[in-house]
Structure 1
Amino acid sequence: MDENLEINVAGDLPAITEAKDAIEAFCARRDVPERVTLSLSLAVDELLANVVNHGGQDPGAIPDIRLRVRLEHNQLVTELSDSGQPFNPLAAPPPELDLDLDDKPIGGLGIHLVRQLMDDVQYRREGAYNRVTLRQRLNPAD
């Protein structure tokens, strides 16, 4: 059985659903706990939506998006790379959750959610690519 899931993701919103479905099938075949699968699916949804909606270098440009998921030492490791404009999601300040709804700036909650869902989130820029690595332990005690 192949231990990795590797897919190219089209730069449109329907492709996000296809990527999430592929992740969920990959996790189901490997008996990954449902809470881990759902957390990863939600985090990937948020990151892919950011790339699709905001990642183009030029108006109308579709970035090259690649997704890789693997099991490694009792954790899921997910690597998302895209050729969009440089964007480090970890540089975004945490949202001010105690502000009134009318005073909250738009954006930033999704990245905050990704940070909360994953055990580890890392970013690096390599050449023309943004690379985000997510790590999620299969068992919280590990």
Structure 2
Amino acid sequence: METKTFKPEIESVNRIQEFVKSALSPEKSNERIRFAVDLIIEELIVNIINYGIKDFNTGFITVCTGIEDETLFIGITDNGPAFNPLEKKDPDIFMALEDRPAGGLGIYLVKQFVKDIRYERKDHKNLIRLWLS
């Protein structure tokens, strides 16, 4: 497992995506997995930056990644206020766009790409763990 800490700023999104993809071996680095990593990281990290971290001077996002039993593991920790994205109700994807409220689609999309996702609040930090295969 490799771990790296990033500043809670939009410029970190691409660095985090590249960091996570660096854990993939060449034979596991197919287009579907790379696309999923990019989407997952963008959705989760942008939400943390825009809605979670309140003090950018003391805020942080720590990412841990590695391969477990041929499954990509991603752990994301931040010190923002408690927020469990898994408690958010899935949007009605069959509702007409003009009738659908804004937001909420990102977490739904993340859940579609992962094998498992878990949330925990520990030591005043949000921990999100994801497994992709």
TM over 0.5: yes
Q: Deviations over 1:4-32 (max 9, x none)?
A: 331112111111011112222332x4532
Task: Show the counterpart of 1:85.
Answer: 81
Q: 2:22 aligns with which of 25, 29, 33?
A: 25
Moved more, 103-112 or 35-44: 35-44
Residues 75 and 135 in structure 1, CA contact (< 8 A), matched pair in contact too? yes
Matching residue of 2:67: 71
Aligned residues: CA RMSD: 1.4
TM-score, structure 1 as length reference: 0.84
Q: What does residue 140 of structure 1 align with? A: none
Write the letter of the residue equivalent to 2:16. Answer: A
Aligned to 1:5: 2
Any idea what the Cα deviations from partners look like across 1:82-108, whole Å, max 9, x if unmatched? 001110010000001122222211111
Q: Distance in 2 between matches of 1:114 and 1:88?
A: 14
For structure 1, which runs of at least 5 residues remain unmatched after alignment?
138-142
Residue in 2 aligned with 1:45? 42
Q: Deviations over 1:116-141 (max 9, x none)?
A: 0101111010021000000012xxxx
Identity score, percent: 25
Amino acid aligned to 1:42: L
Pick one of 106, 110, 117 that aligns with 1:110: 106
Whether the aligned pair in 2 keeps the contact of 1:8 and 1:65 (CA below 8 Å) is yes
Secondary structure class of the residue paired with 1:26? coil
1:32-82 deviations in Å (ceiling 9; x for gaps): 2312232122111110010001002x4xx1231100101111111110010
Which residues of structure 2 form unaligned runs of 5+? none
- State the match for 1:133 in structure 2: 129
Contact between 2:71 and 2:132, CA under 8 Å: does it hold in 1? yes
In the superposition, the TM-score normalised over structure 2's length comes to 0.90
User: Would you say the 8 A contact 1:5–1:23 is kept in 2?
Assistant: no
Looking at structure 2, the residues matched to 105 and 12 of structure 1 have their Cα atoms a distance apart, in angstroms, of 27
